[in-house]
Amino acid sequence: MTDKDKILIDDFFEGRNELADLFKQAAQQQIEDNGFTERVMQNLPEKTVTIHRLSCLWSLFCILVGAGLFFAFGGWQVLQGLFYGGLRMLLGWLEVFAITAPTTEININLWVVLLLLVFVLVFLPYQTYRKLSATL
């Protein structure tokens, strides 16, 4: 590294330190408002309460319309079909696994695999729910 590069780097870091000092000084500066903020907050219009109520009513209306459309157009049957399709796929995968596992050179115990699935699908969610409900 040349002396010119060193000088440029030192100047750069000095400038950063000066800028940081200016920011610290600006953050510590306090401006007196003589109660202006409190007066503004007290004189805000009451429309905010009305707007909040209208927002809640609009949200409720949208939820009700969405639920009505969900049932009117057979959304429940679609969810049911997705669930049963996923269940059939899982059972098919387990069947293929149970048939092909003994033919591999790796020793796989089917009971260990089933217990592992039960552990992952039942026990872990139960423990997670228990811990979350205890903290809340």
- CA distances, 40 to each of 31, 37, 49, 52 (Å): 16, 5, 17, 20
CB neighbours of residue 98 within 10 Å? 13
User: What's the confidence (pLDDT) of residue 88?
Assistant: 94
pLDDT of residue 56: 92
Of the candidates 85, 89, 92, 113, the residue with the CA atom closest to the CA atom of residue 101: 113
Predicted confidence at residue 87, as pLDDT, reads 92
* The overall pTM is greater than 0.95: no
What's the confidence (pLDDT) of residue 52? 81
pLDDT computed for residue 125 by the predictor = 85
pLDDT tens by residue, the chain, 136 residues: 577 777 766 666 665 666 667 666 776 777 788 888 888 877 777 776 778 888 999 999 999 999 999 999 999 899 999 999 999 998 998 888 878 877 777 677 778 888 888 888 888 888 888 888 877 6
